[in-house]
Amino acid sequence: MVAKLTQGFWDKTARIILRNRILILLLIVAATVGLATQWQYMRFATSEVNLLPDGHPENLQYQEFLSQFGEEGNTIVLGVRDEAMGDPDTFHKWNILSRQLEAFPEVDFVLSTQNLQLLMRDKDKDEFVLKPLINSDSVLSKKALDSLSTILFEDLPFYEKLLFNKETKTIRTVVYLDKDLINTSVRKDFVLKDLKTLISDFEAESGLDVRVSGMPYIRTMNAQNIIDEIGSFILAALLVTSLIFFFFFRSFRATFISICVVVIGVMWAFGTLGLLRYEITVLTALIPPVIIVIGIPNCIFLINKYQQEVNKHGNQAKSLQRVITKIGNATLMTNVTTAAGFATFIITDSTLLTEFGIVASLNILGIFILSLLIIPIVYSFMPLPKTKHLKHLNKKWIDGFVNWMERMVRHHRIAVYFVSIALLVASVIGIYQIEISGSPIEDMPKKSEFVEDIRFFESEFDGIMPVEVVINTNQRNGVLKPATLRRMDQLDAYIEETPELSRPVSVVNLVKYSKQAFYNGIPKYYQLPTSQESNFILNIARKSKDNGNLLKSFVDSSGQVARMTTYMRDVKTDRMEDIEAGLLQEISKVFPADRYDVFLTGKALLFLKGTKYLVRNLLMSLGLAILLIALFIAYLFRSFRMIVISLIPNVLPLIITAGIMGFVGVPIKPSTILVFSIAFGISVDDTIHFLAKYRQELATHHWRIQKSVYASLRETGVSMFYTSIVLFFGFSVFIISNFGGTVALGALVSATLLFAMLANLILLPSLLLSLEKSIANKKTLKEPQIDILVEEPASKKGKPAK
């Protein structure tokens, strides 16, 4: 009954489409124009991706830190090796660069050799004061510069690894951006226009190689790479898929129509992003080329069916009507399963993935509607395809491929099972070697200049990713108590001994500097005051205005909460976890839990926690995708055994891909975990097509199993091969990306879909033949709830072409 209703629905749909061609085309144009007006609201991501949900404990701690000390990632650093300290003229230019940076309204403060302040004791007023290191605009002689270098590198340990590297004589300038502008488009304009231009001019004038880094700079350059790649991806996807399409069909007309369909689909995708006010991120930037790659197979199925019908009877009206009624339902079902694979990302608590899932799933359904409407309507205005356009239906090499598949299924089933089991066992071994990557730098373009600069600052200043230790003493002005300072100094020493962490900066450094200033700047006194010294040195420090301003960076306004800032190198996730565990263990020893509340936070740790949280959620979403599609197949075929049979050739390729990741060292990270849900949602389409045809052939051949399997293989094998090849090369275009995650995504999805094609064309028929007695009977294969493939009445079959 349901099947008859389904057929009636599609017959009615075909009549509506073909009788209202002009109106439908006008509606498509209107919808496209309407969505195009939303492009103005598209925005590229300006803030860092937060993979944790807002209410997660780690996120709440980070927000607490920001409320007390403000944005941590607001510094841009400029560095040069010791050439600047060797020539007075060059050093003068370096200082002028600092003054020019300070003049920009986006810049809050610049710390450099140009405005370096010395902490000194004013004995008359009995307070500490700050005095400039350089009293004139320039150091005019080599002797004066050498003297300055001696003071900087030998007498000022407070600034070591903050402004200079004592061993390599590398110096740097630290630019603090306005915290209110750090997550706005103003930051992008400043970095890409003002800062880049200023540095380029300085390099040309001085001959120095200036290295630039810091989280605002890294984020801006990374986002610009995403923007630059969107156009490349769309053009590459269009070029590759259209060339393959033309190779198969040898028709400019068919190729042009298909390109028009997917281009409109891309316009709708951008319009959806603008309509929903979603930012373009590294993931949502992939949606337009994904729409192209998924849309072309829709066109292949529809155009291939149209040409088959024309070749069969030569009646255009009947051909177009059957394209809609016979392929429309099958294409809808396959697009629904693909959309379901993407839609499972919506259940994650990650805003990044939720937005990606919503836009991708909506536009996959959108490209189905466009292809179903545009292709039959456009062909209805055109003459029938010429004989040369139908030659591809009888290509010998396609017949050879289908014959090879049939031989494998007919004569080598044992070998097929043996290879499948061997691959399964090997893949399980590989899965145990997979690592999880929690590094925000992992996916950045390895050969880009800004990533090379990250490595430079890692080698010179021990890291670029901030890690914060927040210490709550639970009492007003408890931070400056000698006991607290000693505990912080003990933790400071532990951090310095950890090679992957930079020398920490905290109130401890300032107190040590105060003691050095108290003893007339002698470097050996750069240490914490003794118990006897503490009272009068800290009393002087408290009443000194300059010290009070410096304290704001390290201690909250109540003097109760302090921060220690260190920077972490880009290390593997397991090492990052070891570092975190070591820090927590040391903190528990140094700070008694009954007196201090201490926690770790910062961008580096937040990304690590977010990645692990995301991996858990994505595994859940993959499980949900498998469950949803299993239920979908159960509804279609009303057979538990068919669920098992259909899942095997789709889950096995996922396991094989995961094994390959383990063997070749591709880690699990947000970009690579996406592979499995995407690939599963797409690959199961072939299974549904094959099983639907198999169910149909069983009824036609009076439940004779072998005839039904081989007929299904020949009927669906060509279209499955065509679409799989398009998908393989379509997703392969992501390999041209500069982003490691995007490259891995493209390569892994392509490989998985190739494995899935072979599994659906060889393993699935083999299983059906081997289990024929248990699954191919009317009790097991009941009448489907929905006829995916609507067959014409038997009396009409074989009607000669006109």
Q: Which domain holds residue 312?
A: 2-47+221-432+607-792
- Joined tokens for residue 54: 């807002």
Kindly state the average pLDDT of the residues 53-59.
80
| Per-residue confidence (pLDDT) for residue 589, from 0 to 100 | 92
Kindly state the average pLDDT of the residues 720-729.
81
Of the listed ranges 78-87, 360-369, 388-397, 600-609, the least confidently predicted one is: 388-397
| Per-residue confidence (pLDDT) for residue 366, from 0 to 100 | 92
Query: Does 351 fall in a domain?
Result: yes
* Pairing status of strand 43-44 against strand 279-280: parallel
Percent of the chain as helix, strand, coil, to the nearest 5: 70, 10, 25
- Joined tokens for residue 191: 């970095």
Taking CA atoms, 12 is separated from 7, 17, 212, 321, in Å, by: 9, 9, 64, 10
**Which residue has 């394209």 as its token pair?**
323
pLDDT tens digits for 272-325? 999 998 888 777 877 888 888 788 888 887 887 787 777 777 787 888 888 888
CA gap 472, 466 in Å, rounded:
19
- Joined tokens for residue 531: 């118990």
Helix (H, G, I), strand (E, B) or coil at 46: coil
Kindly state the average pLDDT of the residues 37-51.
75
CA gap 189, 170 in Å, rounded:
28
| Per-residue confidence (pLDDT) for residue 25, from 0 to 100 | 92
Helix (H, G, I), strand (E, B) or coil at 569: coil
Query: Does 359 fall in a domain?
Result: yes
DSSP states along 159-206: GBTTTEETTTTEEEEEEEE-TTTTTSHHHHHIIIIIIHHHHHHHHHHH
- Over 70: is that where the pLDDT of 388 sits? no
Query: Does 397 fall in a domain?
Result: yes
CB of 172 within 8 A of CB of 462?
Answer: no
Of the listed ranges 157-171, 544-558, 618-632, the least confidently predicted one is: 544-558
Number of domains in the chain: 1
Query: Does 579 fall in a domain?
Result: no
Of the listed ranges 169-178, 193-202, 292-301, 766-775, the least confidently predicted one is: 766-775
| Per-residue confidence (pLDDT) for residue 367, from 0 to 100 | 92
Return the ∠ at Cα 265 (arms to 263 and 739), rounded to 5°: 80
Kindly state the average pLDDT of the residues 173-194.
82
- Over 50: is that where the pLDDT of 790 sits? no
Q: Is residue 27 very low, low, confident or very high in pLDDT (cuts 50, 70, 90)?
A: very high
- Over 70: is that where the pLDDT of 557 sits? yes
CB of 626 within 8 A of CB of 632?
Answer: no
CA gap 5, 787 in Å, rounded:
9
Q: Is 311 exposed, middle or buried (0-12, 13-18, 19+ CB in 10 A)?
A: middle
| Per-residue confidence (pLDDT) for residue 587, from 0 to 100 | 92
Which of 297, 310, 314, 308 has its CA nearest to residue 393? 308
Q: Is residue 636 very low, low, confident or very high in pLDDT (cuts 50, 70, 90)?
A: low
Of the listed ranges 181-195, 491-505, 617-631, the least confidently predicted one is: 617-631
Q: Is residue 540 very low, low, confident or very high in pLDDT (cuts 50, 70, 90)?
A: low
- Joined tokens for residue 333: 């079902």
CB of 217 within 8 A of CB of 464?
Answer: no
HSE (CB half, 13 Å, CA atoms) of 148? 24
Amino acid at 525: Y
Torsion-angle region of 728 (φ positive above 0: left; ψ -120 to 50: alpha; else: beta): alpha
Q: Is residue 404 very low, low, confident or very high in pLDDT (cuts 50, 70, 90)?
A: confident
Amino acid at 63: Q
Q: Using a pLDDT cut of 70, give the percent of the chain over it.
A: 88
**Which residue has 């002005």 as its token pair?**
477
| Per-residue confidence (pLDDT) for residue 801, from 0 to 100 | 37
- Joined tokens for residue 203: 């390099």
pLDDT tens digits for 228-270? 777 777 888 888 888 887 777 777 888 888 889 989 999 999 9
Q: Is the dihedral of CA 480, 486, 490, 493 positive or negative?
A: positive
| Per-residue confidence (pLDDT) for residue 364, from 0 to 100 | 92
Which of 607, 591, 569, 605 has its CA nearest to residue 492? 591
| Per-residue confidence (pLDDT) for residue 619, from 0 to 100 | 74
The overall pTM is greater than 0.85: no
Amino acid at 700: T
Kindly state the average pLDDT of the residues 546-566.
77
Amino acid at 285: A
Residue 409: other Cβ atoms inside 10 A: 23
| Per-residue confidence (pLDDT) for residue 48, from 0 to 100 | 63
* Pairing status of strand 279-280 against strand 597-601: unpaired
Q: Is residue 37 very low, low, confident or very high in pLDDT (cuts 50, 70, 90)?
A: very high
Amino acid at 179: K
| Per-residue confidence (pLDDT) for residue 795, from 0 to 100 | 39
Taking CA atoms, 763 is separated from 90, 417, 425, 461, in Å, by: 71, 8, 16, 56
DSSP states along 430-458: HHTT--B---TTTTS-TTSHHHHHHHHHH
Q: Is residue 47 very low, low, confident or very high in pLDDT (cuts 50, 70, 90)?
A: low
**Which residue has 């230019």 as its token pair?**
93
Helix (H, G, I), strand (E, B) or coil at 702: coil
Of the listed ranges 372-386, 416-430, 687-701, 743-757, the least confidently predicted one is: 687-701
Q: Is residue 40 very low, low, confident or very high in pLDDT (cuts 50, 70, 90)?
A: confident
Query: Does 530 fall in a domain?
Result: no
- Over 90: is that where the pLDDT of 585 sits? yes
CB of 116 within 8 A of CB of 163?
Answer: yes
| Per-residue confidence (pLDDT) for residue 524, from 0 to 100 | 87
Highest mean pLDDT (candidates 204-213, 314-323, 392-401): 204-213
CATH number at residue 782: 1.20.1640.10
Higher pLDDT, 445 or 424: 424
Q: Is 733 exposed, middle or buried (0-12, 13-18, 19+ CB in 10 A)?
A: buried
Q: Is 231 exposed, middle or buried (0-12, 13-18, 19+ CB in 10 A)?
A: exposed
796 DSSP assignment: G
CB of 565 within 8 A of CB of 600?
Answer: no
| Per-residue confidence (pLDDT) for residue 777, from 0 to 100 | 53
- Over 90: is that where the pLDDT of 426 sits? yes
Kindly state the average pLDDT of the residues 492-513.
88
Q: Is residue 369 very low, low, confident or very high in pLDDT (cuts 50, 70, 90)?
A: very high
The CA-to-CA distance between both ends of the chain, in Å, stands at 34
| Per-residue confidence (pLDDT) for residue 32, from 0 to 100 | 93
Query: Does 596 fall in a domain?
Result: no
- Over 70: is that where the pLDDT of 488 sits? yes
CB of 564 within 8 A of CB of 495?
Answer: yes
Q: Is 96 exposed, middle or buried (0-12, 13-18, 19+ CB in 10 A)?
A: middle
| Per-residue confidence (pLDDT) for residue 772, from 0 to 100 | 63
Which of 664, 692, 684 has its CA nearest to residue 622? 684
Kindly state the average pLDDT of the residues 382-409.
70
Kindly state the average pLDDT of the residues 550-574.
83
- Over 90: is that where the pLDDT of 717 sits? no
Residue 450: other Cβ atoms inside 10 A: 18
| Per-residue confidence (pLDDT) for residue 268, from 0 to 100 | 94
Instruction: Give φ, ψ of 692 to 5 degrees.
Output: -65, -45
| Per-residue confidence (pLDDT) for residue 545, from 0 to 100 | 53
- The angle, 0 to 180 degrees and rounded to 10, between the axes of the packed helices 287-313 and 705-732 is 140
CB of 520 within 8 A of CB of 514?
Answer: no
| Per-residue confidence (pLDDT) for residue 532, from 0 to 100 | 73
CA gap 633, 631 in Å, rounded:
5
- Over 80: is that where the pLDDT of 655 sits? yes
